Structure 1
């Protein structure tokens, strides 16, 4: 079982992800904006973070950069899960330290497999 932080302002998507992750016996913490994501990443010490790019208060790319600059979260696996599918967005996120990049809409089973692989690697 892992603790996973979902940082996304889409409440319906967040609940769908929570349902799937809890069904796989993971503990889920959520954040609805970038600032809350940064706060919870520090206080909850998640094993993995699912991060949207387009969020209020602090955008996903800035959250990603701050997480990678913080020694506490620098090695935490991060999956960018976003509607932004441009080559520039994908390359920038991967260069900034995202471990995976998936675009919405996505295949839930594929996301679960990618999460599991990242958790195994991080263990």
Structure 2
């Protein structure tokens, strides 16, 4: 089970994503406003962040760029979940540090599979880091 934070201001998206993640056994913290996201991440320390691009207050892009400058969150996996389609937007998100980019509308099963793949990647990375620290 992972702790996942969802930052989105759309009640329907929040419900669909939360239901899919909870049905897979994950806990979900929801933030509706961009200005609250960084404080919530610091407080809850999620294993993965799902972040909308367009939010009231701070944008998802602003939040992502700031997360990548902080040592505590620079390696936190972040999935952008947005209605902004196109290679330009996904490319910008990648440059800003997004690990995945999912456009709305989306298939909840596909979203869940991508979340699970990101979490497996995090687990493997932590295992390799722990093993390397034991060798030193």
TM-score (norm 2): 0.88
Q: In the TM superposition, what whole-angstrom CA distance separates every residue of 1:29-70 from its partner, at most 9, and x where no partner exists?
A: 010011211111111000000000000010010011011111
Partner of 2:90: 90
Q: Which deviations, in whole Å up to 9, do the C-alpha atoms of 1:93-118 show, x marking residues without a partner?
A: 01111000011011111111110011
For the residues of structure 1 that align with 2:88 and 2:16, how far apart are their CA atoms? 28
Write out aligned runs for 1:15-30 (5 A). 15-30=15-30
RMSD (CA atoms): 0.8
Aligned partner of residue 69 in structure 1, secondary structure: coil
CA distance in 1 between counterparts of 2:92 and 2:83 reads 15
Secondary structure at the aligned position of 2:72 is classed as coil
Secondary structure of 1:122's counterpart equals: helix
Runs (4+) of structure 1 exceeding 4 A deviation are none
Looking at structure 1, the residues matched to 71 and 34 of structure 2 have their Cα atoms a distance apart, in angstroms, of 18
The aligned counterpart of 2:38 is: 38
Q: Hey, what does 1:63 align to over in structure 2?
A: 63
Paired residue secondary structure (1:50) = strand
In structure 1, distance between residues paired with 2:13 and 2:43: 23
Count of paired positions: 123
CA deviation profile, 1:52-93 (whole Å, cap 9, x unmatched): 000001001001101111111111110000001132211000
Matched, 1:107 2:107: yes
How far, CA to CA, are the matches of 1:91 and 1:118 in structure 2? 19
The separation in 1 between residues aligned to 2:85 and 2:42, in whole angstroms, is 28
- For the pair 1:118 / 2:118, whether they are aligned, the reply is yes
- CA offsets 1:18-38 (integer angstroms, 9 cap, x no match): 111111110100100112111
Larger radius of gyration: 2
